[in-house]
């Protein structure tokens, strides 16, 4: 039976140590301030933003929320981003995705000043991650790396397989593992013989968005299995991309959903905001 990687506990510890850092900053008259932008009315985004602002409040990070209407045009969005870029007291800016289809999200991410890009989506930060330079790293992959570190899981020389190649999870996950000297394979919907590949993984990361996609037969014995997926089921429950019940019989470590990678995403965002303030 696999050891459960307790993301909730690790995230709590990260937040505790960040609180000490924020207290120190505030004692020196520096009030960390963060701006979050949402465009349109998306119920899931509202929950994510609430989680983020709650975490900010708990740590003593001030938060400005900008809720823009569905009909906002690109110029208005860029104007807001530029005005936030110019304000020195704002250390971090986050644009909650998705945004309405008529808007160009890549252009919007590019407009966020790289030094305030706490989500790590600006091309400058993406490029720096590829070059293994200091930068803001996308929060979910960064959270996965923190979990591996906390559980003292060896990465160097290991075969790591990432399923999913999105810009926010899969691709930065590949880079993070590669930067730690894993041999990384990235899979996607066009990958042939997926099981053959995943079976070779010492570390398997699932970021697909399909409930229970990774089954026991796809996992090597004693592999470390990280489930990034968050799938909302019809009964309102949340389920990961990994068939947790059966896969945990064969692997050595596994993240649960909920309580695995999810809490780490918010914790790493807080960590990036504190980093931005210090920068
Ligand atoms: P995307 O939909 O952007 O990407 C999904 C990826 O999975 C794509 O690269 C797609 O391939 C690949 N894929 C789809 N079907 C298959 C298949 N049959 N075989 C192999 N690969 C497949 O999702 P995200 O990366 O944004 O998110 C992935 C999951 O992680 C979601 O459940 C999301 O909710 C969750 N998530 C969780 C976070 C957290 O904090 N824990 C944060 C962000 C996301 P292709 O590129 O070819 O289409």
In this structure, what CATH number is given to the domain that contains residue 67?
Answer: 3.40.50.10860
**Per the domain annotation, does 169 fall within a domain?**
yes
Token representation of residue 220: 């090597």
Give the residue whose CA is nearest to atom 18 of ligand 1.
Answer: 189
Give yes or no: residues 74 and 153 share one domain: no
The string of pLDDT tens digits covering residues 70-113 is: 999 999 999 999 999 999 999 999 999 999 999 999 999 999 99
Residue 147 counted as domain residue: yes
Q: Residue 125 domain-assigned? A: no
* End-to-end alpha carbon distance in the chain: 43
Residue 249 lies in a domain: yes
Residue 158 and residue 65 in one domain: no
What token pair was written down for 133?
Answer: 């330079």
Residue 65 parent element (H or E):
strand 62-68
Number of domains into which the chain is organized: 2
Q: Based on the domain organization, do 155 and 43 belong to the same domain? A: no
If you measure from the C-alpha of residue 187 to the centroid of ligand 1, how many angstroms do you get, rounded to a whole number?
11
Pocket of ligand 1 (CB under 6 A): 140, 163-166, 168-170, 187-191, 194, 207-210, 228-231, 261-262, 265
Does 157 fall in a domain? Answer: yes
Mutate which of 48, 164, 265 to test ligand 1's pocket (most atoms within 8 Å of Cβ)? 164
- b/e burial code for range 36-62 (CB count within 10 A of at least 16 → b): bbbbbebeebeebbeebbebbeebebb
Output the pTM of the full model. 0.97
Q: Which atom of ligand 1 is nearest to the CA of 190?
A: 47
**Of 33, 116, 117, 119, which one is the catalytic site residue?**
119
Mean pLDDT of 185-198: 98
Active site residue 52: yes
Q: Could you tell me where the DSSP H helices lie in 60-169?
A: 74-86, 105-111, 123-130, 139-150
CA of 208 to the centre of ligand 1 (A): 3
The predicted-structure confidence for 199-240, as pLDDT tens digits, reads as follows 999 999 999 999 999 999 999 999 999 999 999 999 999 999
User: By residue range, what is the domain housing residue 239?
Assistant: 139-262
User: What CATH number is associated with residue 170?
Assistant: 3.40.50.720
The answer as to whether 227 is a domain residue is yes
**147 alpha carbon – ligand 1 mean position (Å):** 20
* Residue 279: predicted pLDDT: 85
Helix (H, G, I), strand (E, B), or coil: what is residue 264? helix
Residue 182 domain-assigned (yes or no) = yes
pLDDT(126) > 90: yes
Mean local confidence (pLDDT), 31-49: 93
Q: Is 145 part of a structural domain of the chain?
A: yes
Residue 114's contacts (CB-CB under 8 Å, 6 or more residues apart) are: 122, 124, 125, 135, 136
Interval between CA 186 and ligand 1 midpoint (Å)? 12
CA distance 220 to 213: 15
């Amino acid at each position: 039976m696999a050891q459960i990687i307790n993301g909730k506990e690790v995230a709590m510890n990260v937040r505790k140590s960040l609180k000490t850092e924020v207290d120190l900053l505030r004692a020196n008259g520096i009030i960390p301030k963060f701006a979050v932008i949402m465009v349109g009315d998306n119920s899931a985004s509202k929950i994510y933003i609430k989680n983020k602002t709650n975490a900010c409040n708990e740590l003593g990070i001030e938060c400005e929320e900008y809720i823009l209407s569905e009909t906002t045009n690109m110029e208005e969005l860029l104007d807001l981003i530029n005005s936030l870029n110019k304000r020195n007291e704002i250390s971090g800016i986050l644009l909650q995705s998705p945004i309405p289809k008529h808007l160009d999200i890549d252009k919007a991410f590019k407009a966020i000043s790289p030094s305030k890009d706490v989500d790590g989506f600006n091309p400058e930060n993406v490029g720096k991650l590829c070059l293994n330079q200091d930068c803001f790293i996308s929060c979910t992959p960064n959270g996965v790396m923190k979990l591996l570190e906390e559980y003292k899981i060896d990465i160097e020389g290991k075969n790591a397989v990432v399923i999913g190649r999105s810009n926010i999870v899969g691709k930065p996950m590949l880079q993070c593992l590669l930067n730690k000297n894993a041999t990384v394979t990235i899979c996607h919907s066009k990958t042939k013989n997926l099981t053959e590949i995943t079976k070779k993984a010492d570390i398997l990361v699932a970021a697909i968005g399909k409930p229970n996609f990774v089954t026991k037969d796809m996992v090597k014995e004693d592999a470390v299995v990280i489930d990034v997926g968050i799938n909302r089921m019809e009964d309102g429950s949340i389920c990961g991309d990994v068939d947790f019940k059966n896969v945990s019989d064969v692997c050595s470590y596994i993240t649960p959903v909920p309580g695995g990678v999810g809490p780490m995403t918010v914790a790493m965002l807080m960590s990036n905001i504190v980093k931005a303030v210090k920068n």
